[in-house]
């Protein structure tokens, strides 16, 4: 008696059943399909070397040399020229500078007024204008006081010389003292006024410190 034909894949009688085929698995994404990742900051760029200034911030360019500027200032973060605290305080710059035109005017009165007083009075009244400037403005402005005191000390000593010269004029030698007082008081008073007009404190020669 013959056996009926077996279906394809059927094993021998009494043998192990055929192993089932594994289920179909969908192919995974390949490396070529993965999106490129951005390199970390400081990571080497193309060719293995990092860029000179690192990678730029998102949406921006590389920072300029010296860093990003501060608001309102030039490149590098430094303040613009002319910005900062003024020098000299409330009473003008050191060395005889003036805070305002009123201080300058009184300083010129002390110097030029002393020179005019010596010339017009014959060498005896050059101290009046510096004294007026010191009393009128010296308490409000140390700069004016410095100019007025310098002029007052000089004109005061040469006014004394001029007065003594007038006393001794009866013996003719006194006129030498008068002439010296007039010439020196006038010339150095004008020089001091010119320096004061330039914002400088003039140091009178041949002076004495009667008033400080």
Compute the average pLDDT of residues 24-45: 52
| pLDDT for 98 beyond 90 | no
| 89 vs 112, more confident | 112
Give the per-residue pLDDT at 210.
85
Give the lowest-confidence range in 38-42, 84-88, 196-200.
84-88
CA distance 99 to 154: 25
| pLDDT for 190 beyond 90 | yes
44 contacts 37 by C-beta, under 8 angstroms: no
Compute the average pLDDT of residues 86-113: 72
CA distance 61 to 80: 24
**For residue 20, what are its two tokens?**
């089932």
| 100 vs 6, more confident | 100
Give the per-residue pLDDT at 185.
96
Give the per-residue pLDDT at 143.
94
Give the per-residue pLDDT at 171.
82
Compute the average pLDDT of residues 120-132: 95
| pLDDT for 138 beyond 60 | yes
Q: What is the pLDDT of residues 49-84, one digit of tens each?
A: 555 555 555 555 555 555 555 554 444 444 445 444
175 contacts: CB under 8 Å, gap ≥ 6: 165, 169
Which residue, chain included where needed, has tokens 């000179």? 52
CA distance 182 to 155: 10
Query: Is the pTM of the predicted complex or chain greater than 0.85?
Result: no
Give the per-residue pLDDT at 204.
96
Best CA proximity match to 112, nearest among 189, 164, 7:
189
| pLDDT for 41 beyond 50 | no
Compute the average pLDDT of residues 112-141: 95
H helical segments located in 66-141: 101-121, 128-137
Is 56 exposed, middle or buried (CB count within 10 Å of its CB: 0-12, 13-18, 19+)? exposed
Average pLDDT, the chain: 74
């Amino acid at each position: 008696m013959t056996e009926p034909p077996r279906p394809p894949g059927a094993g021998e009688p009494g043998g192990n059943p055929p192993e089932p085929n594994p289920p179909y698995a969908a192919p995974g994404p390949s490396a070529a399909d993965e999106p490129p990742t951005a390199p970390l900051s400081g990571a080497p760029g193309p060719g293995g070397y990092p860029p000179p200034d690192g990678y730029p911030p998102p949406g921006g360019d590389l920072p300029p040399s010296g860093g990003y500027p501060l608001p309102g200032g030039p490149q590098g973060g430094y303040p613009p020229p002319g910005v900062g605290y003024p020098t000299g305080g409330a009473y003008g710059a050191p060395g005889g500078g003036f805070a305002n035109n009123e201080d300058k005017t009184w300083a010129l009165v002390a110097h030029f007024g002393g020179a005019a007083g010596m010339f017009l009075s014959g060498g005896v009244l050059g101290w009046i204008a510096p004294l007026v400037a010191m009393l009128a403005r010296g308490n409000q402005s140390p700069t004016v006081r410095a100019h007025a005191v310098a002029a007052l000390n000089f004109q005061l000593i040469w006014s004394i010389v001029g007065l003594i010269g007038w006393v001794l004029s009866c013996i003719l030698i006194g006129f030498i003292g008068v002439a010296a007082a007039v010439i020196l008081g006038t010339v150095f008073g004008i020089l001091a006024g010119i320096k004061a007009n330039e914002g400088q404190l003039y140091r009178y020669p041949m002076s004495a410190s009667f008033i400080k």
